[in-house]
A and B are shown apart, each in its own frame.
Chain A
Amino acid sequence: MKDEVTREERIDNLKGMGCSRKRVEDARFTQGKGNYVDDIKLDGMLFGDFVRSPYAHANIKNIDTSAALEVPGVLAVLTAKDLEPLALHWMPTLAGDKQMVLADGKVLFQGQEVAYVVATDRYAAADGIEAVEVEYEELEVLVDPFKAMESDVVLRPDTVGEDGKPADGAHGPRKHHNHIFTWEAGDKEPTEQAIGASEVVAEEFMYYHRTHPCPLETCGCVASMDKVNGKLTIWGTFQAPHAIRTVVSLISGIEEHNIRVISPDIGGGFGNKVGAYPGYVCSVVASIVTGKPVKWIEDRMDNLMTTAFARDYWMKGRISATKEGKITGLHCHVTADHGGFDACADPTKFPAGFMNICTGSYDIPTAYLEVDGVYTNKAPGGVSYRCSFRVTEAVYFIERMIEVLAIELNMDAAKLREINFIRKEQFPYKAALGWEYDSGDYHTAWKKAMDAVDYDGLRAEQAQRIEDFKAGKTRKLMGIGLTHFTEIVGAGPVKNCDILGLGMFDSCEIRIHPTGSAIARLGTISQGQGHATTFAQILASEIGLPADSITIEEGDTDTAPYGLGTYGSRSTPVAGAATAMAGRKIRAKAQMIAAYLLEVHDDDVEFDVDRFAVKGAPERFKTMKEIAFAAYNQAIPGIEPGLEAVSYYDPPNMTYPFGAYVCVMDIDVDTGVPEIRRFYALDDCGTRINPMVIEGQIHGGLTEALAVALGQEIAYDDMGNVKTGTLMDFFLPTAWEVPNYETDHTVTPSPHHPIGAKGVGESPHVGGVPCFSNAVHDAFRAFGLRQTNMPHDHWRIWRTANELGLHD
Chain B
Amino acid sequence: MIPAAFEYHRPSDMSGVLAILQEHGDDARVMAGGHSLIPMMKLRMAEVPHLIDLQDVGGLSGIMVGDTITIGAMTTQADIIDNDALAAAAPIMREAALQIADPQVRYMGTVGGNVANGDPGNDMPGLMQCLDASFTVVGPDGERSIPARDFYEAAYMTAREDDEVLTAVSFAKPAGGYAYEKQKRKIGDYATAAAAVQIVKDGGTCVSAAIAMTNLSDTPVYSQAASAALVGTSVDEAAVKAAVAAMLGDIDPVEDNRGPVAFKRHVAGVILARAIERAWSRA
B102 to A671, Cβ gap below 8 A? no
Any B CB within 8 A of the CB of A711:
yes
B186 to A733, Cβ gap below 8 A? yes
Any A CB within 8 A of the CB of B183:
yes
Q: Say which residue of A737, A795, A798, A802 sits within 8 Å of B186 (CB atoms).
A: A737
Q: Say which residue of B186, B188, B266 sits within 8 Å of A807 (CB atoms).
A: B266
A130 to B1, Cβ gap below 8 A? no
Number of residue pairs A-B, CB distance < 8 angstroms: 63
Report chain B residues within 8 Å CB of A737.
Answer: 186-187
A736 to B187, Cβ gap below 8 A? yes
A734 to B188, Cβ gap below 8 A? yes
Taking CB atoms and an 8 Å cut-off, the chain A residues in 703-733 that contact chain B are: 711, 715, 723-724, 728-729, 731, 733
**Shortest CB distance A727–B (Å):** 8
Report chain A residues within 8 Å CB of B189.
Answer: 728
B270 to A127, Cβ gap below 8 A? no
Report chain A residues within 8 Å CB of B257.
Answer: 715, 723-724, 729
Report chain A residues within 8 Å CB of B44.
Answer: 130
Given A731-B185, A795-B258, residue A122 in contact with residue B2 (CB < 8 A): yes
Q: Say which residue of B1, B186, B270 sits within 8 Å of A734 (CB atoms).
A: B186
Residue of B nearest to A737 (CB): B186
How far apart are the CA atoms of A299 and B189 in the complex, in Å?
20
Any A CB within 8 A of the CB of B260:
yes
B270 to A301, Cβ gap below 8 A? no
Q: Say which residue of A127, A711, A807 sits within 8 Å of B5 (CB atoms).
A: A127
A794 to B2, Cβ gap below 8 A? no
A299 to B1, Cβ gap below 8 A? yes
Any B CB within 8 A of the CB of A126:
yes
Any A CB within 8 A of the CB of B267:
yes
B187 to A672, Cβ gap below 8 A? no
How far apart are the CA atoms of A123 and B270 in the complex, in Å?
47
Residue of A nearest to B270 (CB): A670
Any B CB within 8 A of the CB of A785:
no
How far apart are the CA atoms of A671 and B192 in the complex, in Å?
10
B192 to A794, Cβ gap below 8 A? yes
**Shortest CB distance B275–A (Å):** 13
B186 to A736, Cβ gap below 8 A? yes
Report chain B residues within 8 Å CB of A729.
Answer: 257
Q: Say which residue of A122, A123, A671, A734 sits within 8 Å of B267 (CB atoms).
A: A671
Residue of B nearest to A301 (CB): B1
Q: Say which residue of B5, B186, B187, B271 sits within 8 Å of A123 (CB atoms).
A: B5
> Which among B102, B185, B188 has the greatest number of chain A C-beta atoms within 10 A?
B185
How far apart are the CA atoms of A300 and B42 in the complex, in Å?
12
Q: Mark A109-143, 1 if CB is under 8 A from B, else 0.
A: 00000000000001100110010000000000000
Which of under 10, 10 to 19, 20 to 34, or 35 or more describes the interface residues of B? 20 to 34
Q: Say which residue of B1, B258, B266 sits within 8 Å of A300 (CB atoms).
A: B1
A671 to B270, Cβ gap below 8 A? yes
Q: Mark B227-270, 1 if CB is under 8 A from A, else 0.
A: 00000000000000000000000000000011110110011001
A126 to B185, Cβ gap below 8 A? no
Given A130-B44, A729-B257, A807-B266, residue A794 in contact with residue B187 (CB < 8 A): no
Any A CB within 8 A of the CB of B4:
yes
B270 to A794, Cβ gap below 8 A? no
Report chain B residues within 8 Å CB of A794.
Answer: 183, 185, 192, 258-259, 263, 267
Given A123-B2, A794-B192, residue A734 in contact with residue B187 (CB < 8 A): yes
How far apart are the CA atoms of A728 and B189 in the complex, in Å?
7
Q: Mark B60-76, 1 if CB is under 8 A from A, else 0.
A: 00000000000000000
Report chain A residues within 8 Å CB of B262.
Answer: 802
**Shortest CB distance A117–B (Å):** 12
A671 to B186, Cβ gap below 8 A? no
Report chain A residues within 8 Å CB of B192.
Answer: 794-795
Report chain B residues within 8 Å CB of A673.
Answer: 183
How far apart are the CA atoms of A807 and B266 in the complex, in Å?
9
Main secondary structure of the interface of B (DSSP, over half): loop
Residue of A nearest to B260 (CB): A795
Any B CB within 8 A of the CB of A793:
yes
Report chain B residues within 8 Å CB of A417.
Answer: none
Report chain B residues within 8 Å CB of A734.
Answer: 102, 186-188
Report chain A residues within 8 Å CB of B260.
Answer: 795
How far apart are the CA atoms of A130 and B5 in the complex, in Å?
12
**Shortest CB distance B2–A (Å):** 4
Any B CB within 8 A of the CB of A799:
yes
Residue of B nearest to A670 (CB): B270
> Which among B44, B102, B260, B267 has the greatest number of chain A C-beta atoms within 10 A?
B267
Q: Mark A789-804, 1 if CB is under 8 A from B, else 0.
A: 0000111001100100
How far apart are the CA atoms of A24 and B260 in the complex, in Å?
48
B2 to A799, Cβ gap below 8 A? no
**Shortest CB distance A670–B (Å):** 5
**Shortest CB distance B214–A (Å):** 15
How far apart are the CA atoms of A300 and B39 in the complex, in Å?
13
Residue of A nearest to B257 (CB): A729
Residue of B nearest to A302 (CB): B1
Residue of B nearest to A713 (CB): B257
A793 to B185, Cβ gap below 8 A? yes
Residue of A nearest to B5 (CB): A127
Q: Say which residue of A122, A711, A807 sits within 8 Å of B185 (CB atoms).
A: A711
How far apart are the CA atoms of A723 and B258 in the complex, in Å?
11
Report chain B residues within 8 Å CB of A130.
Answer: 4, 44
How far apart are the CA atoms of A250 and B69 in the complex, in Å?
71
A799 to B188, Cβ gap below 8 A? no
How far apart are the CA atoms of A729 and B257 in the complex, in Å?
7
**Shortest CB distance B239–A (Å):** 19
Report chain B residues within 8 Å CB of A799.
Answer: 263
Residue of A nearest to B267 (CB): A671
How far apart are the CA atoms of A673 and B266 in the complex, in Å?
13
**Shortest CB distance B267–A (Å):** 5
Q: Mark B1-37, 1 if CB is under 8 A from A, else 0.
A: 1101100000000000000000000000000000000
Residue of B nearest to A673 (CB): B183
How far apart are the CA atoms of A517 and B1 in the complex, in Å?
47
**Shortest CB distance B194–A (Å):** 12
Report chain A residues within 8 Å CB of B263.
Answer: 672, 794-795, 798-799
Taking CB atoms and an 8 Å cut-off, the chain A residues in 267-319 that contact chain B are: 299-301
Residue of B nearest to A798 (CB): B263
How far apart are the CA atoms of A737 and B184 in the complex, in Å?
11
How far apart are the CA atoms of A126 and B5 in the complex, in Å?
10
How far apart are the CA atoms of A807 and B262 in the complex, in Å?
12
How far apart are the CA atoms of A301 and B267 in the complex, in Å?
30
Residue of B nearest to A807 (CB): B266
**Shortest CB distance B130–A (Å):** 21
Report chain A residues within 8 Å CB of B270.
Answer: 670-671
Q: Mark B177-206, 1 if CB is under 8 A from A, else 0.
A: 000000101111110100000000000000
Given A673-B183, A734-B102, A734-B187, residue A798 in contact with residue B2 (CB < 8 A): no
Taking CB atoms and an 8 Å cut-off, the chain B residues in 161-189 that contact chain A are: 183, 185-189
Q: Mark A661-702, 1 if CB is under 8 A from B, else 0.
A: 000000000111100000000000000000000000000000
How far apart are the CA atoms of A280 and B18 in the complex, in Å?
48
> Which among A671, A736, A737 has the greatest number of chain B C-beta atoms within 10 A?
A671
How far apart are the CA atoms of A98 and B140 in the complex, in Å?
62
Add 10 more A-B contacts to A731-B186, A737-B187, A798-B266 (CB < 8 A). Answer: A672-B263, A715-B257, A729-B257, A734-B102, A734-B186, A794-B185, A794-B192, A794-B263, A795-B259, A802-B262
A sample of 30 cross-chain residue pairs with beta-carbon separation below 8 angstroms, ordered by A number, consists of A123-B5, A299-B1, A670-B266, A670-B267, A671-B183, A671-B270, A711-B185, A711-B186, A715-B257, A724-B257, A728-B189, A729-B257, A731-B185, A731-B186, A733-B186, A734-B186, A734-B187, A736-B186, A736-B187, A793-B185, A794-B185, A794-B192, A794-B258, A794-B259, A795-B192, A795-B258, A798-B263, A798-B267, A799-B263, A802-B262
A contact residues vs B (CB 8 Å cutoff): 122-123, 126-127, 130, 299-301, 670-673, 711, 715, 723-724, 728-729, 731, 733-734, 736-737, 793-795, 798-799, 802, 807
User: What 8 pairs between A and B have smallest CB-CB spacing?
Assistant: A795-B259, A126-B2, A736-B187, A795-B263, A299-B1, A729-B257, A670-B270, A734-B187
